[in-house]
Amino acid sequence: MGNVVIGRLDKIDEWTTGAPFTKSSEIKPDANETVLFSLQEFDKGKCGGKDVRLFVPSELADECKDLSNVSVYFDLELYPFFQRIKEEMKSDEKPRGVLRIRRKVLEEKGDSVMIGDLFVLSALVGEPSEAMVKRTKGEVRPSHVILTVDFGGGTMGHLEYTFASEGEKIEFEWSGIKRIIEFDSDEMTPLTPDGLTTLPLSYSVDAILSGAHSADEGLLQSLNKYRSLLTGGDWR
């Protein structure tokens, strides 16, 4: 059974990918092969089938829920920096503290990136019970959203999002009882030429294949809960 990955091809780090993959117009990959398709090439009618494992970003989860062998991935969870942070924080029995995230993402991502982040963070620090949401007016560009989230157990989150037509950035800060962890994607500079350019936020095909979640009823219900949290503030 082959794999079909739908997503942003510019996010794939080919240098750190070990799994064999190809960018092809053929929708049916050979066994043990992974074929990458851009979001613009996505055609639900051609992606189904028992002989294909389909991997889609979280914004396509609802659209693909009636297909078989579908897994959903979340970009925040795939970044190498977040995988390292997760290992550090999981060494604590129950992380307690303040989580701060600032993200600049493409405007087209909309609420899907925030819903996805809540899904990923809930596995790290606990299920959010309520959130206060502040948004700029619809005509303001770039637009901004601030989430103040109660993750329970003494953990609070302050998540800031800027939606713009170009550029991406992530700042992550965890202030816990025993440790402080910080990350800034703008500091991911290469050795040459003279550290004048920043490295893109990217992840490997391997990370998608190993880190994606089965698009079962439990996952879809969780995403709906977080969607409700952003619009209504409380699902209890």
Each residue's pLDDT tens digit, 4-56: 899 988 888 888 777 777 776 556 656 678 888 888 888 877 776 667 889 99
Please tell me whether residue 96 adopts helix, strand or coil conformation: coil
User: Taking the domain 76-205+214-232, which CATH number applies?
Assistant: 3.30.360.10
CA angle (200, 227, 61) in 5-degree steps: 65
How distant is the alpha carbon of residue 224 from its chain centre? 16
pLDDT for 179-202, tens place per residue?
Answer: 889 999 887 655 444 544 445 688
Q: What phi, psi does 128 have (nearest 5°)?
A: -70, 135
CB 155 within 8 A of CB 96: yes
* pLDDT tens-place string over residues 84-119: 988 888 776 677 899 999 999 988 777 899 999 999
Q: Is the pLDDT of residue 124 over 80?
A: yes
User: Looking at the chain, which residues constitute the CATH 3.30.360.10 domain(s)?
Assistant: 76-205+214-232
What is the pTM for the complete model shown? 0.88
